[in-house]
């Protein structure tokens, strides 16, 4: 998703490792475009277009990763990038659809949180330089974040579409495999990567087989 929010620093140099995922931050629970690298055995989550001090790190030896539940919880923090809603495709949205929408918080931040579509108030589309511009208004209900349960009407520029595609990221798979094999001594059943590529990351879904 496009970078918007409090962590942005315009002067930060672009960092372009190969993969790109959306990641739910430990700090505020909001979703950010991120890239992953393994560094000294740690998983480093780098927020796209934000300075290094905001990076989040995961240590495979940390206690909260010492179970299949912990691994599943970390895996659920990642999903494929949620693209902005296309102006010409607003008519394809359906009530109940899961979206990721910019949320104006009480302290003045604009962060991405998930919401579901309640309804669409249609408006005639305009055009700018020959490109269609959606003027509809989208009524959404937040499902997470500081305004969970609230309804709000937003414009298309605030809306991204959550994808159901499974995460296939070699860095994440390698890290989760390492963690899983560490706490299970390799006896944990299916590997983390095989689970990651075989199912979506819906919370409450396949949580892996707990080692015995």
CB closer to Zn ion, 46 vs 161? 161
Written as six digits, the tokens of 164 are 């159901």
Residues in CB range of 187: below 8 A, 6 or more apart? 211
Range in contact with Zn ion (rule: CB under 5 A) among 11-19, 36-44, 56-64, 126-134: 126-134
Name the nearest CA neighbour of 144 among 30, 7, 33. Answer: 30
Name the nearest CA neighbour of 54 among 79, 73, 72, 28. Answer: 28
Q: How far apart are the first and last CA of the chain?
A: 40
Residue 68 Cβ vs Zn ion, minimum distance, rounded to whole Å: 43
Question: Binding string to Zn ion for residues 56 to 95, with x set by CB under 5 A, is what?
Answer: ----------------------------------x-----
CB closer to Zn ion, 12 vs 135? 135
Rounded Cα distance between 186 and 106, Å, is 47
Q: Does 134 bind Zn ion (CB under 5 A)?
A: yes
CA 109, 115, 120, 121 dihedral sign is negative
- Candidates 117, 136, 162, 176; binder of Zn ion (CB under 5 A) is 136
Residue 102 Cβ vs Zn ion, minimum distance, rounded to whole Å: 17
CB closer to Zn ion, 72 vs 134? 134
Instruction: Tell me which residues touch Zn ion (CB under 5 A).
Output: 90, 134, 136
């Amino acid at each position: 998703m496009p970078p918007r929010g409090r962590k942005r620093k315009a002067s930060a140099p672009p960092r372009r490792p190969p993969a790109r995922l959306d990641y739910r931050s430990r700090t505020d629970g909001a979703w950010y475009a991120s890239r992953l690298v393994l560094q000294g055995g740690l998983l480093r989550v780098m927020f796209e277009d934000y300075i290094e001090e905001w990076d989040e790190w995961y240590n495979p030896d940390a206690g909260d990763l010492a179970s299949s539940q912990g691994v599943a919880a970390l895996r659920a923090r990642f999903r494929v990038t949620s693209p902005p809603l296309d102006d010409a495709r607003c008519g394809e949205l359906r009530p109940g659809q899961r979206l990721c929408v910019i949320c104006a918080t009480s302290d003045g931040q604009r962060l991405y949180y998930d919401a579901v579509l309640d309804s669409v108030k249609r408006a005639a589309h305009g055009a700018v330089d020959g490109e269609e511009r959606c003027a509809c208004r989208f009524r959404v209900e937040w499902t997470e974040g500081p305004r969970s349960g609230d309804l709000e009407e937003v414009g298309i520029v605030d809306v991204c579409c959550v994808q159901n595609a499974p995460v296939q990221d070699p860095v994440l798979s390698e890290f989760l495999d390492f963690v899983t094999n560490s706490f299970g001594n390799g006896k944990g059943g299916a590997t983390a990567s095989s689970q990651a590529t075989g199912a979506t990351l819906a919370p409450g879904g396949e949580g892996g087989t707990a080692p015995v």
